[in-house]
Structure 1
Amino acid sequence: MDTLCNATGGWTRLAYLDMSDATQNCPSGFRLYQSGGVRACGRPVTGSASCSSVTFPSNGINYTQICGRVTGYQFGSNDALHTGNGNNHNNLNADYVDGVSLTRGSPRQHVWTFMGGVFESINIPSNCPCTAGSPQINIIPDFIGNNYFCESGNPTSSYYNQFFTADPLWDGKLCRSLEAACCNAPGLPWFHRDYGTASTTDYIELRVCGDEGTNNEDTPFGLAEIYVK
């Protein structure tokens, strides 16, 4: 791998799962979503908050940088970091987000958070922090800081039991109306963490989390691609 995240050479791929390839399967502990040719991996059916997890070992590789991308889809009423449905939104080890969490090692250290918001063009508290007028900009946990992407895939005024496949999340495209700023996040669709001289062999963990049951919301991912150097 040559140039990624404005850094040349030395990258090693730890994870690559592209569910548009029909020969690929979801990791153990994830549920397959399928609709109109879209395939994605989300939480198993549950009536309450949960996270589903898969880890990617470094195989002993020392690294100081992580670069990658994740794309996902909105199912139902994802509400990013909204605190109305639980007490875990400042707890990295719990269902702090409706979306995908990337961490490294144990105890977990935050790498990146991929949030799903509920609407693109209706201003309510469940929208992305980057959406115009969203109060969530004031409740981003310190462990996240600026290391997040957020997007809604819902251009409508409803959400119940809908799988929004026309607008994949965190790809830097189709940020309509109020969430236009969400597509201006630096680097999209690629995230990048540079730890300077602090090297590690930590594994990378990907979790799909939600603070309500899957009948109400989920954020299945369709692509995960992660490199280290």
Structure 2
Amino acid sequence: MSTDCTNQGTSGSFSLYLRVCCVIDNLGRSFIIKGNGINRYIFCPSVLPKPCQSVRSCKDLNSTVNGNYNIYPDGVTPVEVYCDMNGINCDGEGGWTRVGYFNMTESGATCPAGLIQKNYTNIDHLLCGRLANSSTCISTTFSTNGLTYNKVCGQVRGYQSFRARAFLNFQNDIENFTIDGVSITHGSNPRKHIWAYVGSYSEARTDTQACPCSTGYSGGLDLNATFVGSHYYCESGADAGVGFSVLFATDPLWDGQQCDDQESTCCPANSKMPWFYRSLDTQTTDDIELRVCSSRTGATHHTPLDIFELYIK
């Protein structure tokens, strides 16, 4: 075998052999790697090579290939994760470890524990959200496996069901964050804000039920004076001339599309919507909580989700 099958290289970087054979899907397979006019023949054993245990997170992989890898957060126990090794949707650099994911458009997908599967007649897949007449927020928590991080990146896609009232009953208290939308936080006592995805009444509103980012907003709320700051997205899915007793399935929330009327300023051309990126002030190992919230406990105000993806680094 004409490759350095056992050396890890310098500065902790992986050899070609380890970069290939520490990938779960490659176990038990053989490969021919071509480069610089040289063919390298690699056969991966049916179990992971022992040096893979030095990979504590995706940051430790010397790879540019996105995919499933085994990492060893505690240096002993393997955990299979998906690694984003180019970070196009985040900071443009690789090494992102995925800690949360669901996509209800995929066959067999289910909602994570804590969220409720919801069926609407005008969309062809289930959504995840709150129960009717439940508490204002319902949540699920994603483990970070004890990894240390200070950067968070992800995406959320949801829909407006009936009315959404943005920050109408907003209190500057993260423990009572009553919005119509999604709150992403870390830690506890108190929680710490990462990002919010908020639904508003309609694209044409400028009052207290509108997005604060909308042109001509007159709701009087200065988010820069709160824990939210600029770390939020806000959009309405309500189509003009349509009654509010429906799920607005044709205009998903927070995707940066169909931002019309006063709402156009909420979807700037340089936005990564539906992706967010946040660099935290300090490093942490906190698990991350996703809360789907409503400003009212009634059955009519919902922002159910179908796509969620979360990375840390």
Counterpart selection for 2:165 from 73, 79, 84: 79
Matched, 1:225 2:309: yes
3-state SS in 1 of match to 2:111? coil
Counterpart selection for 1:127 from 210, 222, 233: 210
Residues 1:68 and 1:136: Cα distance change in structure 2 (over 3 Å): farther
Counterpart selection for 2:105 from 3, 20, 32: 20
**Aligned length in residues:** 223
Residues 1:225 and 1:149: Cα distance change in structure 2 (over 3 Å): same
Residues 1:65 and 1:10: Cα distance change in structure 2 (over 3 Å): same
| Greater mean deviation of Cα atoms: 36-45 or 62-71 | 36-45
The one-letter amino acid paired with 1:97 is I
Q: Which has the higher strand share?
A: 1
Residues 1:190 and 1:137: Cα distance change in structure 2 (over 3 Å): farther
Moved over 6 A (4+): none
Counterpart selection for 1:65 from 140, 146, 151: 151
Matched-pair contact (CA < 8 Å) for 1:99–1:115: yes
Task: State the Cα RMSD in Å.
Answer: 1.9
| TM-score, L = length of structure 1 | 0.90
Matched, 1:37 2:124: yes
State the match for 2:250 in structure 1: 166
Percent identity (aligned) = 37
Output the CA distance in 2 between the equivalents of 1:32 and 1:13: 23
Counterpart selection for 2:188 from 97, 106, 115: 106
TM-superposed deviation, 1:94: 2.1
TM-superposed deviation, 1:106: 1.4
Output the CA distance in 1 between the equivalents of 2:260 and 2:118: 25
- Whichever of the two has the greater Rg, that structure is 2
Residues 1:101 and 1:159: Cα distance change in structure 2 (over 3 Å): farther
TM-superposed deviation, 1:195: 2.6
- Give unpaired runs (5+ residues) of structure 2: 1-83
Matched, 1:96 2:178: yes
Output the CA distance in 2 between the equivalents of 1:69 and 1:32: 19
Q: Deviations over 1:25-45 (max 9, x none)?
A: 112332222332143111011
The one-letter amino acid paired with 1:60 is G
TM-superposed deviation, 1:160: 3.3
Output the CA distance in 1 between the equivalents of 2:243 and 2:211: 15
Counterpart selection for 1:190 from 241, 264, 275: 275
The one-letter amino acid paired with 2:101 is Y
State the match for 1:54 in structure 2: 140
TM-superposed deviation, 1:124: 3.9
Output the CA distance in 1 between the equivalents of 2:236 and 2:285: 34
3-state SS in 1 of match to 2:105? coil
| TM-score, L = length of structure 2 | 0.67
